[in-house]
Amino acid sequence: MNETIVKIKPSVILWGIGIIFTLMVLVALKDIVIILFLAFIISSGFRPIVDKLAALKVPRMMSLILIYLSVTLITIVVLLLTIDTFITQFNTITSNLPGIVENILRSISNVAPQEWGLFSESDISEIVKELDKATSVDARTLQDIFNFLGRNFKSISDTGLNLLGSVTNAVFSIFLVLMIAAYLIARPEKAYRGLIGYIPKKNQETIMHLFDQVEQQLGVWLVGQLILMLIIGLVTYVAIMIPHLFGVTGYELHKFALLIAIIAGFLEAFPNIGPTLTLIVTMLMALGTGGSFGVLLYIFIAFTMIQQLENVFIVPLVIGKAVNLDPIIIIVAIAAGLQLGGVLGAVLSIPVTVIVRIIVDEVNNQRIESEKLENKRKSNEQTLQSNVSRKTFGQRIEGVKDLIGKLF
Please report the pLDDT score of residue 152 as a whole number.
61
Q: What band does 232 get if pLDDT is binned at 50, 70 and 90?
A: very high
Closest-CA residue to 228 (of 282, 277, 260, 266): 266
Residues 6+ apart with CB under 8 A from 86: 258, 259, 262
Contact 237, 263 (CB under 8 A): no
Q: Are 106 and 124 in contact (CB under 8 A)?
A: yes
- The residue-averaged pLDDT of 276-301 equals 87
Average pLDDT, the chain: 78
Residues 6 or more apart whose CB falls under 8 angstroms from that of 248 comprise 295
What pLDDT, on a 0 to 100 scale, did the predictor assign at position 139?
46
When pLDDT is averaged across residues 285-290 and rounded to a whole number, the result is 85
Cα 265 to chain centroid, rounded: 13
pLDDT exceeds 70 at position 396: no
pLDDT of residue 123: 72
What pLDDT score does 154 carry? 62
**Distances in whole angstroms, Cα of residue 179 to Cα of each of 39, 72, 153:** 8, 15, 38
> Each residue of 12-22: pLDDT tens digit?
677 678 778 77
- Give the pLDDT confidence score for residue 261 in this predicted structure: 93
Please report the pLDDT score of residue 236 as a whole number: 93
Mean pLDDT of 22-41: 82
Q: Of the ranges 153-162, 365-374, 398-407, which one carries the lowest mean pLDDT score?
A: 398-407
- Each residue of 306-343: pLDDT tens digit? 988 887 777 777 766 666 677 788 888 888 888 887 87
**What is residue 222's predicted lDDT score, i.e. its pLDDT?**
87
Of the listed ranges 156-165, 255-264, 328-337, the one predicted with least confidence: 156-165
Stretch 170-184: mean pLDDT: 86
pLDDT score recorded for residue 387? 58
**For 145-160, how does the pLDDT look when each residue is reduced to its tens digit (9 = 90+)?**
556 556 665 666 666 6
Where b means 16+ CB within 10 Å and e means fewer, 48-73 reads: ebbeebeeeeeebeebbeebeeeeee
CA distance 4 to 141: 79
Rounded average pLDDT over 364-370: 78
- Convert the pLDDT of each residue in 38-91 to its tens digit: 888 888 888 888 888 888 888 888 888 888 898 889 889 988 888 888 888 888
Whether this prediction's pTM lies above 0.85 is answered by: no
What integer pLDDT is reported at residue 135 of this predicted model?
A: 62
Q: Which of 58-72, 85-99, 379-393 has the highest mean pLDDT?
A: 58-72
The predicted pLDDT at position 371 comes to: 77
DSSP assignment of 47-71 equals HHHHHHHHHTT--HHHHHHHHHHHH
Residues in contact with 385: Cβ distance below 8 Å, sequence separation at least 6, in sequence order:
none
Instruction: Supply the pLDDT for residue 286.
Output: 87
Mean pLDDT confidence for 178-202: 76
pLDDT band of 401, cuts 50, 70, 90: low
Q: What is the pLDDT of residue 81?
A: 84
Burial (0-12, 13-18, 19+ Cβ within 10 Å), 167 = exposed
